[in-house]
């Protein structure tokens, strides 16, 4: 049990796919609110997307995230679980030894998972957001750069995920796939600390001492609350990341994280950094509940266990 375990990665992929499928429509709304223009509030955004693009608009670009973000979550959960297991083995000799799960171990494992996630998750998030945003109206940039399109309703900038990747590499180089990665790092390192740590302690607190592992209800509730906490607190930097990654569909407006923060604040005030907060928190609950349920019970099935083992 103290060794590197691939089951965590496989279970993370299954949980990640479940989370994407459950949360994708609200993820589209969240991205449009944060990086799009012309939306008054959440309900206005939902109405406008439905009126102009029908139900399909909420699932725009979904095939790529189901595959790529599932792999991304596989890496995050696998890295987190194996890092914590390594730390416990180093501290106590065996992962199962010791008085309980250490906050310092959970914190360090969460930070490592957050840093590793950017390498794989950056391009996946970029492609997802570009596909979600390519039908949006936009404002001319102040930098005098010529846009590739001029209004909503023209031919979409990308014909699909592969064409999107090829276009970005051709026009922006390989570095273009990591646009917004610094903002993603600033979002994900604290974000995963507020994701895994609340989940672990909440699931343990909800589970009676007589039980050997958390019930499906405990996993669902702890996972949902952890997701709402993590995504809610991550909203300000998520806004910056979304704007940086959406930037470039038609034009390039921001030169970096600080420029994005400065321009956004100057033009829209402090409230812009909390745009999409209700959607983030609401979306975080079912998405994370499905993710943790998928992870925990697929892990149990893969190991042939009769109890659920927290990540």
pLDDT at residue 292, as a whole number: 93
pLDDT at residue 172, as a whole number: 87
pLDDT at residue 170, as a whole number: 92
pTM score, whole prediction = 0.80
Helix (H, G, I), strand (E, B) or coil at 95: coil
Is residue 226 within 8 A of residue 198, CB to CB? The reply is yes
Averages of pLDDT over runs of 10 residues in the chain (311 residues) are 66 77 82 77 85 80 69 88 89 65 93 92 88 60 42 62 90 90 95 96 87 85 96 94 83 88 94 90 91 89 64 68
Helical ranges in the chain per DSSP H: 7-35, 42-53, 63-92, 103-133, 161-172, 181-206, 216-233, 235-246, 257-268, 277-303
Helix (H, G, I), strand (E, B) or coil at 308: coil
Backbone angles phi, psi at 100, to 5 degrees: 165, 180
Close Cβ partners of 150 (under 8 Å, ≥ 6 residues apart) = 250
At what angle are helices 181-206 and 63-92 packed, to 10 degrees?
60
Cα separation, 100 vs 119, in Å, equals 31
């Amino acid at each position: 049990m103290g060794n590197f375990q691939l089951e965590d990665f496989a279970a993370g992929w299954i949980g990640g796919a479940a989370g994407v499928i459950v949360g994708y429509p609200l993820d589209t709304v969240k991205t449009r609110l944060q990086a799009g223009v012309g939306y008054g509030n959440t309900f206005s955004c939902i109405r406008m997307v439905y009126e102009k693009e029908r139900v399909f608009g909420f699932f725009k670009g979904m095939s790529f995230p189901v595959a790529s973000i599932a792999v991304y979550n596989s890496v995050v959960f696998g890295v987190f679980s194996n890092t914590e297991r390594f730390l416990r083995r180093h501290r106590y000799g065996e992962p199962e030894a010791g008085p309980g799960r250490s906050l310092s171990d959970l914190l360090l494992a969460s930070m490592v998972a957050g840093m590793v996630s950017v390498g794989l998750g950056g391009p996946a998030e970029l492609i997802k957001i570009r596909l979600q945003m390519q039908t949006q109206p936009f404002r001319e940039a102040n930098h005098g750069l010529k846009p590739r399109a001029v209004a909503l309703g023209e031919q979409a900038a990308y014909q699909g995920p592969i064409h999107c990747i090829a276009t970005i590499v051709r026009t922006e180089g390989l570095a273009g796939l990591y646009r917004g990665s610094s903002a993603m790092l600033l979002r994900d390192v604290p974000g995963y600390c507020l994701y895994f740590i609340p989940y672990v302690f909440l699931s343990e607190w909800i589970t009676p001492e007589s039980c050997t592992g958390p019930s499906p209800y405990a996993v669902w509730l702890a996972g949902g609350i952890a997701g709402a906490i993590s995504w809610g607190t991550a909203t300000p930097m998520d806004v910056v990341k979304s704007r940086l990654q959406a930037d470039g569909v038609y034009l390039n407006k921001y030169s970096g994280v600080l420029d994005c923060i400065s321009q956004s604040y100057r033009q829209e005030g402090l409230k812009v950094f909390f745009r999409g907060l209700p959607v983030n928190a609401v979306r975080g609950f079912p998405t994370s509940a499905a993710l943790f349920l998928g992870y925990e019970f697929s892990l149990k099935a893969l190991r042939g266990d009769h109890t659920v083992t927290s990540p």
